[in-house]
């Protein structure tokens, strides 16, 4: 068998894809945590990690090793099976979501017809993991964090879907490669600025990050749904969070910022530049704002974001019908 045939065989493709996803995932988990701590440090008049590696680049690896070495504590009175399962249920959807991300014109695990729909449906599963964690922990803080998380996820899913629907109406496709190729002349953000803003705000809320981090509001709920978690199980929640930041940024890049398109550099480089610019923005927001109150968060979603997204969708549909 020659090389081309080997590369063509389905098993090799699957193995390569899994390896690729794992590499991107690992590098992102290390880089995003490092970036967060560095950006936070410099915003807060300090340096951030400096000891492990050049300017602390390997701090994430050191922390990972520490967490692996730690004992996994299962408190009394927890539902053991659910308690153990929950972190992985929150985590695995993030790996599955990598499947449809077009890193470049060739680098995409599967170019599904309904890629966009697939991405957002899978992302909903993580919420079940969070609720499971809060429920199984047998802790009031965890339970309240989980309840808040559910309410928030349901609320913010709607403006997200409405905003991406506007994009879908323009591009007439749910296939991510087609959405990117539609943007060969101009970025969709230019014609859909409102949808972009709504998407980014809702995405931050969906990620449970400040100013929308009420499910894990540490001053009220200690640590929210992961109060009782320690060691690697905690790390898994943590990795899921940072992978999710990357994924929503990657999706925003694909939908609004022209995906991997760009001059001079290879497509993959452009993709990562745009994605990490958004990741940086999300980190920046976290360190600049306090936290909203749950009821303010809800009214902001239902009384402002959703109507705006809906109106935007109506206007988009109207113009698409005329022109």
Partner 1 sequence: MDTEKHVLKDFYVNMGPQHPSTHGVLRIVLKVDGEKVMSSETVLGYAHRGVEKMAESKTYIQMMPVMDRFDYVSSMLFEWAYVGCMEKALGITPPERAEYIRVIMAELNRIASHLLWAGAFLLDLGAFTPFLWLFDARERIMDMFEEVTGQRMTNNYFKIGGVADDLTPEFFKMLDEFLNMIRKRMADTETLIESIIFLERVKDIGFISKEDVINYSLTGPVARGSGVNYDLRKNEPYSIYTRFDFEIPLGEKGDCYDRYKVRMREVIQSVRIIEQAVSAIPEGPFAEKAPKIVKLPEGEYYFAVETSRGLLGVYLVSDGSANPYRFKLRDPAFSNLSILDTMLPGNKISDVVAILGSIDVVIPEIDR
289 binds partner 1 (CB under 8 A): yes
- Lay out the site mask for partner 1 across 94-133 (x = CB under 8 A, - = otherwise): ----------------------------------------
In the bound complex, what is the minimum distance in angstroms from residue 141's beta carbon to partner 1? Answer: 8
Among 292, 305, 308, 313, interactor with partner 1 by CB under 8 A = 292
- Lay out the site mask for partner 1 across 20-59 (x = CB under 8 A, - = otherwise): --------------------x--xxxx-------------
* DSSP-derived 3-state class of residue 74: coil
214 binds partner 1 (CB under 8 A): yes
* Backbone angles phi and psi of 71, in degrees to 5: -75, 140
Nearer to partner 1, 129 or 211 (CB): 211
As given in the structure block, the two tokens for residue 142 are 């965890």
In the bound complex, what is the minimum distance in angstroms from residue 45's beta carbon to partner 1? Answer: 5
Measured over the CA atoms of residue 263, residue 265, residue 269 and residue 273, the dihedral's sign is: negative
Among 101, 109, 144, 301, interactor with partner 1 by CB under 8 A = 144
Answer whether the bond into residue 211 is a cis peptide, omega within 30°: yes
| Spatial distance between the Cα atoms of 188 and 38, rounded to a whole number of angstroms | 31
| Spatial distance between the Cα atoms of 282 and 204, rounded to a whole number of angstroms | 7
- For the segment 185-204, give every residue that binds partner 1 (CB under 8 A): none
Q: At what angle do helices 140-171 and 115-136 cross, to 10 degrees?
A: 170
Among 157, 213, 228, 241, interactor with partner 1 by CB under 8 A = 213
Nearer to partner 1, 99 or 298 (CB): 298
DSSP 224: G
Cβ-proximal residues to 88 (8 Å cutoff; 6+ apart), any chain:
129, 236
| Spatial distance between the Cα atoms of 180 and 252, rounded to a whole number of angstroms | 11
The residues that touch partner 1, with contacts defined as CB under 8 A, are 40, 43-46, 140-141, 144, 210-211, 213-214, 217-220, 222, 287-296
């Amino acid at each position: 068998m020659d090389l081309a045939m080997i590369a063509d065989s389905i098993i090799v493709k699957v193995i390569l894809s899994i390896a690729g996803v794992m590499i991107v995932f690992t590098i992102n988990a290390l880089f995003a945590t490092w970036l967060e701590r560095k950006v936070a440090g410099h915003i807060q008049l300090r340096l951030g990690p400096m000891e492990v590696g050049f300017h602390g680049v390997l701090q994430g690896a050191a922390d990972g090793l520490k967490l692996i070495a730690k004992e996994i504590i299962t408190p009394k009175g927890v539902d053991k099976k659910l308690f153990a399962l929950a972190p992985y249920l929150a985590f695995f959807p993030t790996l599955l979501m990598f499947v449809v991300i077009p890193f470049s014109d060739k680098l995409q695990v599967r170019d599904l017809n309904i890629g966009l729909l697939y991405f957002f449906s899978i992302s909903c599963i993580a919420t079940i993991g969070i609720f499971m964690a809060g429920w199984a922990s047998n802790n009031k803080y965890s339970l309240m964090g989980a309840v808040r998380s559910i309410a928030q996820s349901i609320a913010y899913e709607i403006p997200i879907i409405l905003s991406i629907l506007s994009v879908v109406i323009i591009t007439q496709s749910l296939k991510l490669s087609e959405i990117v190729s539609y943007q060969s002349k101009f970025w969709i953000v230019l014609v859909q600025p409102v949808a972009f803003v709504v998407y980014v705000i809702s995405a931050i809320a969906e990620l449970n990050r400040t100013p929308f981090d009420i499910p894990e509001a540490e001053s009220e709920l200690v640590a929210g749904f992961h109060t009782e978690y320690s060691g690697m199980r905690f790390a898994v929640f943590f990795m899921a969070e940072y992978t999710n930041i990357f994924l929503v940024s990657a999706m925003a890049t694909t939908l609004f910022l022209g995906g991997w398109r760009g001059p001079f550099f290879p497509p993959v480089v452009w993709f990562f530049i745009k994605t990490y610019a958004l990741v940086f923005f999300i980190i920046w927001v976290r360190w600049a704002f306090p936290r909203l109150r749950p009821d303010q968060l809800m009214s902001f979603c239902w009384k402002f974001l959703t109507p705006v997204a809906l109106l935007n969708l109506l206007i988009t549909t109207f113009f698409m019908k005329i022109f």
